[in-house]
Structure 1
Amino acid sequence: MPGPSRRGLLMRPLPSGSRKNRGISLGLLALCLAAARCLQSQGVSLYIPQPTINATVEEDILLSVEYSCHGIPTIEWKYTSNWGAQKIVEWQPGTQANISQSHKDRLCTFDNGSIQLFSVSVRDSGYYVITVTERLGRSQFGTIVLHVSEILYEDLHFVAVFLAFLAAVAALLISLMWVCNKCAYKFQRRRHKLKESTTEEMELQGVEC
């Protein structure tokens, strides 16, 4: 008896169990792709427009950042330098910030994640690391390098020379004013004496008449 043809074997439909397993596999694959796409769309992104900042003492410095994420994140700034590392501030946008004692009176926070340092000193030089964390635990961090230098001696010398020049000009003006007042006083006194002598002469002429 002749066996089934090759064409008949190829056209035979798959068993129902195999089709069901294949459908489940495709469904799981689609679910995994959708979950991965969802997680990717909900990730944290962080942008730092100026990663390196040069400043001089007593300046007010803005450490500017921008972030995007879903929900309200937790923002944390840490400071690292030759003197050690510490957390300087942590907050959630719209709530009061928890500022460390070392920066209590000279730090200001913004809802976009930026912070401002007031009246910086050389000890403020170092690395400032920001970490933005979502409620689900995903986070992103970035670093800003701050260099704070003292005012150069040449600048101080220029300021000193300029102040000395202003002092000399002021002294000259004061001297000129004193001379002018002295001359005006002498002129008025001389005029007054001349007027008195003229009056006396007129009185004498009246007596003689």
Structure 2
Amino acid sequence: MQPLGHRLLSDETAPGLPGTGRRRGHRHPLPGRRVGSADRKKEKRQSIIRPLLKQTTEIAPGGVSLVVPQPNINATVAQNILLSVEYSCRGVATIEWKHVSSWGTTKIVEWKSGNYVNISTVYKDRVTTFENGSIQLLNVGMRDAGYYFITVTEEYGTNTYGTIIVNVYEIIYEDLHFVAVLFAFLAAVSAILICFMWLCNKSLHLFQKKTAHKLTGISLQMQSRYRFFKPEF
């Protein structure tokens, strides 16, 4: 009688034998084959997670984009300026504007689309917000020059940034007004002096004419008297 182990091995490798019920090529599972069960479990888990991942990818936003058409703005004192931007996103966005200059960093305004608007006390009654993310600053001064940073944050956590540089130039209206008034005053004084000189010249001419006429009359009078009293020899 052959040993059991040898018999089983012979039964595996032998062609179909009567009573064995086995086919050629069929083998008993070996201990190393148990890895296949773990692979099957892994594939099963992946088959369950894969639709969820696909669903999450479809729900997740496509991000947020921001366009700054005019990154440099030149303005003069007391002028109103528009910090123009245009953002787009799939979710609800939060917009925040900050001003950075040599005087420090100041938060201007923060608002959520269709919800709240928080304007800093420093910029109270000076800022107007728009749905596309733009803001308008009223009556700018020299301290308003600097960098303006906008941050657009989507409700899913995606955010983007933009920068606008603002240059503010001061026009000294008082000096211009003084120069204009001084010029007008000098022109008026010059006109008055010209008129006065013309009147003086005219008066002097009339006086000279009148004096010459008197002298002529006196001369004729003296000549007539001289003729009347002239002795005859």
Per the normalisation by structure 2, the TM-score is: 0.54
- Structure 1, gaps ≥5 residues long: 173-209
1:126 equivalent in alignment to 2:182: no
Q: In structure 1, what is the Cα distance between the partners aligned to 2:133 and 2:14?
A: 74
Give how far 1:50 is off.
Answer: 1.4
> Counterpart of 1:198?
none
Contact 2:61 2:91 in 1 (8 A): no
Specify whether residues 21 and 8 from structure 1 end up closer, same or farther in structure 2 by C-alpha distance, changes over 3 A only.
farther
Q: In structure 1, what is the Cα distance between the partners aligned to 2:25 and 2:136?
A: 79
1:32 equivalent in alignment to 2:53: yes
Matches within 5 A, 1:5-84: 18-29=39-50, 31-32=52-53, 34-36=55-57, 38-41=59-62, 43-84=63-104
Matches within 5 A, 1:86-101: 86-95=106-115, 97-101=117-121
Q: Secondary structure at the match of 1:120?
A: coil
Q: In structure 2, what is the Cα distance between the partners aligned to 1:33 and 1:126?
A: 46
With a CA cutoff of 8 Å and minimum separation of 6, indicate the structure with the bigger relative contact order.
1
Give how far 1:168 is off.
Answer: 6.1
Larger Rg, first or second structure (1 or 2)? 2
> Counterpart of 1:141?
161
Q: Secondary structure at the match of 1:59?
A: coil
1:138-188: CA deviation from partner (whole Å, max 9, x where unpaired) = 3222221111122499xx87xx68x959x969x99xxxxxxxxxxxxxxxx
Per the normalisation by structure 1, the TM-score is: 0.59
Match of 2:130 among 94, 98, 110: 110
Give how far 1:73 is off.
Answer: 2.2
Q: In structure 1, what is the Cα distance between the partners aligned to 2:36 and 2:143?
A: 76
Number of residues of Structure 1 aligned to a counterpart in Structure 2: 159
Contact 2:65 2:160 in 1 (8 A): yes
- Structure 2, gaps ≥5 residues long: 1-9, 16-23, 27-34, 192-233
Same amino acid, percent of matched pairs: 48
